[in-house]
A and B are shown apart, each in its own frame.
Chain A
Amino acid sequence: MNPPLPDKSGPFTHAPNSVQQTMLTVLLALSPATLFNAYLFGWPAILLFVVTVASCITIEAVCLVLAGRKVQAGLADGSGVLTGWLLAMSLPPWAPWWIGVLGAVFAIALAKHAFGGLGQNVFNPAMVARVALLVSFPVVMTAWVSPQPLFSAGAPGLAEAAAITFGEYSVDAVSAATALGHVKTELSRGISVTQSMPQVPGLIDMALGLRAGSFGETSAVLILLGGMYLMARRVISWHIPATVLGSLFLLGTLFHAVNPARFADGSFHMFSGASFLGAFFIATDYVTSPVSKTGQLIFGIGCGVLAWVIRTFAGYPEGMAFAVLLMNALAPIIDQYTRPRLFGRGRDGQPLPLKEDA
């Protein structure tokens, strides 16, 4: 018998990995936090999650058809599901259904496929959608609710939830402020951080996720668990999460020490808002972050610093999405300046000099 034609050069062995497997690993890592928050925010959150993910898959399929690509292969890689999942996690849990659908259009059609599909987009699709929604529908996108665990007294049942997600039900009745939002609002009323801080949940509650916030961002512990799993599976490295959280914490601690009345402390910054979700799952997005480890360090620090600056000085209480998007724009240029040194060459690309004594 004749061997197969040599139509391809080596290597003829491969690591047991694929894009699909990578995406599925990330989804698995997101599951604990997602399940916990589904429990925490109840049926309306679950419905919104389903709507958002389903819309992303549908729009992904439509875009693949329009682009003339292989639909099945394009859907199977799981990138559309992941974008939808992350988008759902960054929405207010009781937001109406059309927020999820519109977000899917922003994320998949505009932020991803308009740039050329998987791997070509400059900006993180989920964050583009979140920011676009936040800017367009500021009221709906900041209507937070306090945790109302499934089956607990007063928590909406499935029928009520359908009314919240698909009907005209107003969330105002149960609205709550996020910790970051509360501090910001009080500060604008002239109430110092030191005075407003006792009204936000304690650090333990914040870390566990027993607080108001986006659907998937509240539980720092469970997100950390997922992040650790991703690191163990070598899907992500420590570089981006450590620098995002580290720079956020350092800046917070430093300025808090200088003026405790004006600046919230470092651990508050770390455990509030989308810090953990952003550090482990948003900023680490392969496509939109730098490829080299040095680049990732710079990128992570940039995200952390910008998030702190926006939280502290800008009009919005939370800045993680903006920070990531701004750093996304810088990723290509960071890549260009952080290429590794070539073997046997100096940083300038010239061959290393020969030592005379060698």
Chain B
Amino acid sequence: MLIDVGSLTIMGVALGGLLGTAARFLAVEEDPLEEELKAMLPGSQCGQCGHVGCAQAAAALARGEAPVTLCPPGGKAVAEALAKKLGISADLSEHTEKAAEFAYIDEDLCIGCTRCLKECSVDAILGANKLMHTVIAEACHGCGKCALVCPTEGIVMRPLPQTIALWHWPKPDISH
């Protein structure tokens, strides 16, 4: 009886001590989750998620206050990556992804005010004072900030055209 109690006590103390030591030596300096999440987001600070910028969005994600599908420009790819990082099995099949868009400037409405230029965080808009602007479609990631500031509503968000190069077969539809 005494031996039983004794051995169990010794084991408890030893293992507890080991765990405590391990916790101290292997401790992570600070929660890197927020940083890692931030690195996954596009970083364009577009604000479409409702947060001021990507850092704030990452913080909200880390606290579990925001859904992984929060980032429209990131689309499904980012949502999946975030879900994986956070260990959430997000049901992305329900998540109707907003079709990828790019900004299109109506040349007749552009007055060359350059406001959109300043707003664009990826420098995708070309133009100068009093000169018509155009968007480099490859660089634009569709955050839509420029469309919001355009005084003439001359910027519209257009869906990226479907091309043969990007097309792929749909998933087979099978029911037995």
Measuring CB to CB, which residues of chain A are less than 8 angstroms from any residue of chain B?
8-9, 69-70, 73-74, 117
Contact = CB atoms under 8 A, between A and B. Distances in A.
A69 B169 contact: no
B176 A9 contact: no
B169 A70 contact: no
A117 B175 CA distance: 13
Contacts, number: 7
Interface in B144-176: 169, 172, 176
The prevalent SS among residues of B at the interface is loop
A69 B176 CA distance: 6
Contacts of A73: 176
Contacts of B172: 8
Contacts of B176: 69-70, 73-74, 117
A70 B176 CA distance: 7
7 contacts: A8-B172, A9-B169, A69-B176, A70-B176, A73-B176, A74-B176, A117-B176
A8 B174 CA distance: 12
Contacts of A69: 176
Nearest to B169: A9
B171 to A, nearest CB: 11
A117 B169 CA distance: 28
Contacts of A8: 172
- Report, nearest first, the 4 A-B pairs whose CB atoms are least far apart: A9-B169, A69-B176, A70-B176, A73-B176
A188 to B, nearest CB: 42
A9 B171 CA distance: 11
B111 to A, nearest CB: 47
Nearest to A118: B176
Contacts of A117: 176
Nearest to A68: B175
A117 B172 CA distance: 20
Interface in B121-143: none
